[in-house]
Chains A and B, each alone.
Chain A
Amino acid sequence: MALSTDDVRHVARLARLALSDEEVEALRSQLSDILAYAEQVGEAAGGDVPPTSHAYPLANVFRADEPHESLSPEEAISTAPEAEDGRFRVPKIVGGEA
């Protein structure tokens, strides 16, 4: 799997990583190598093999609908890089998932 620099830039945008040109180039070749190696999973298993996401199969792990104490608002925002009026402050959001 040979990736183009455009592929790398597209993935970097999806992953919110501002990469330098040098990083893009290095990753282009490294990712191509790693994915070429990883592609052998394709030959290992046929479509009849079911995928496993959990090695120890569990189901129906639920919680009772009973409230526990929340953090205090001071604790909640104590880790915030920037806060205002008890809220987390962020630079302007352009467009977006309204």
Chain B
Amino acid sequence: MSELVTRTAAELRDLLAAGEVSAREVAQAHLDRIRATDGRVKAFLKVLDEQALAHAGDVDRRRAAGEPLGPLAGVPLALKDILATKGIETTCASRILETYRPPYDATVVKRLRQADVVVLGKTNMDEFAMGSSTENSAFSKTYNPWDLARVPGGSSGGSSAAVAAFDAPLGIGTDTGGSIRQPAAFCGIVGVKPTYGLVSRFGLIAFASSLDQVGPFARSVTDAALLLDAIAGHDPADSTSIPEAKPDFLAGIDKGVQGLRVGVVREFMAEGMEPGVRARVDEAVARLEKLGATVVDVSLPHASYGVAAYYLIAPSEASSNLSRYDGVRYGLRVPGETAEEMMANTRAAGFGPEVKRRIMIGTYALSAGYYDAYYAQAQRVRTLIIRDFAEAYAQCDVLVGPTTPSTAFTVGEKVDDPLAMYLNDVYTIPSNLAGAPALSLPIGLDEHHLPVGLQVMAPVLGEPAMFRVARALEADLAFDPTPRGANALETPGGAAA
């Protein structure tokens, strides 16, 4: 039943509920697809065949017995290897955690289990989520199903590639500066960075605590909203978790854009964008207007400082968050004469170059005499960006613009130029700094048959309007998420188109 892998999560949920297919069959079909393709895509660090089939079997048994089931019972999912799974390797794609098996489950993992989602495996990523290409994994690169010579984006490139490759209808990623939206754009799928504090960070291995947020990947807007609904909500174990009730993401999702005001961010449309990206974004904005939205021109004057602020705040927090990998309590240990030597040797051997680079930047930025010029100043820029957004949202309900300046680049193209890699996040970073939600929606292909993503941004807890706009455009554009082109992965059940 290889056709099963082309289904959306909502379709699978309904087929399962109607008894037309079993959860085991659904899991097996996806595991077969992984086996057939993952040697080339390398989306997964670990495939959990046994656990997935056992869980699916349990869902089938409980369904047969008439026991209560979670809202996504039997729907498979690819989980980024940054979320703690009890007794199962959780590596963050780092040598330093290669053998680490957490003694506890992340809150998101618990919620996925409560939803009866079947976790197929743990996906590749840039080490500790630091990167935009998944080339910084200590274990393997991941390849873009649309062009196997290109990167899937990052840092959540494993999950985005898995969803794009039809290995799973749903994926979980994390987004600190664009790590869900950018790979979603590169892989032609939907990716959502929710409002900061909407999804628990407990058990999410920290990169930059004030920016990190877990979010969904899917091949449809509705699927993404369904998955977000399953994982969102207050968690007393995370002090930064929003205590108010989560919004209803699905209630108005099909209402269309009539009457909504859509702001186009002037600074994002100005320069630096590839022509293919620009053309698709312009078309999408025109479609929105046709569909009844009021399009307004807005400005985020301080957004251009976002990358600079981000590359001070995120490495500063990371330098402290990653201190604990010292060879004492868990993970890699490289011997040394003294405890200090052991720690320094362990960290030298256990971290890759990008992680070391960011630890060094952050340590420097926080060190005596530099805190005010760097960290504190970056936090001031953050205030200005939040004010910019507030002014923009006085004129509109959501903002749109490109997710990334370019489509997927080739493997190796930017690895030697860290700053160029960082500038890839120029459009995604402002939402992280503002703690606001944003989504990337595939809106078409460029001249190389590579997907282009439109970013839809909303104010804090404005996910319903964000989903509504994305859903309306999705329905209108009818983008086909099947990878195609000269060097694409073959479609399920057939050769590459």
Contacts and interface: CB of A to CB of B under 8 A. Distances in A.
B379 A15 contact: no
B335 interface: yes
Interface of A: 3, 7-8, 11-19, 23, 27, 30-31, 33-35, 37-42, 44-47, 49-56, 58, 61, 63, 71, 75-76, 78-82, 88, 90-94
Contact of A18 (B239, B331, B344, B379): B344
B382 interface: yes
Given A12-B360, A15-B359, A50-B383, 9 more contacts: A14-B363, A37-B419, A38-B378, A41-B377, A47-B380, A55-B460, A58-B239, A88-B329, A94-B339
A31 B336 CA distance: 28
B331 A41 contact: no
Nearest to B309: A41
Contacts of B187: none
Contacts of A44: 302, 305, 308-309, 377, 380-381, 384
A63 B144 CA distance: 44
Contact of A31 (B347, B364, B422): B364
B360 A27 contact: yes
A17 B356 contact: yes
B367 A11 contact: yes
Contact of A37 (B236, B308, B378, B434): B308
Given A56-B195, A82-B333, A91-B337, A18 B347 contact: yes
21 contacts: A7-B364, A11-B367, A12-B360, A15-B319, A15-B323, A15-B360, A17-B351, A17-B359, A23-B353, A27-B357, A34-B418, A41-B309, A41-B377, A45-B384, A50-B380, A58-B197, A61-B239, A81-B330, A90-B328, A94-B338, A94-B340
Interface of B: 100-103, 195-197, 210, 236, 239-240, 242-243, 302, 305, 307-309, 311-312, 319, 323, 326-333, 335-345, 347-348, 351, 353, 356-357, 359-361, 363-365, 367, 373-374, 376-384, 386, 418-419, 422, 433-436, 460
Nearest to A46: B380
Given A80-B329, A90-B342, A41 B361 contact: no
A3 B373 CA distance: 16
Contacts of A91: 335-339, 341-342
B240 A56 contact: yes
A49 B240 contact: no
A8 B419 contact: no
Contacts of B418: 30, 34
B419 to A, nearest CB: 6
B103 A75 contact: yes
A56 B434 CA distance: 8
Contacts of A30: 357, 418
The 3 closest A-B pairs by CB, nearest first: A55-B435, A51-B379, A79-B330
Contacts of A94: 338-340
A34 B197 CA distance: 29
Contact of B311 (A38, A55, A80): A38
A27 to B, nearest CB: 6
B450 to A, nearest CB: 28
Contact of B434 (A17, A50, A55): A55
A87 B216 CA distance: 40
A82 B211 CA distance: 34
B347 A54 contact: no
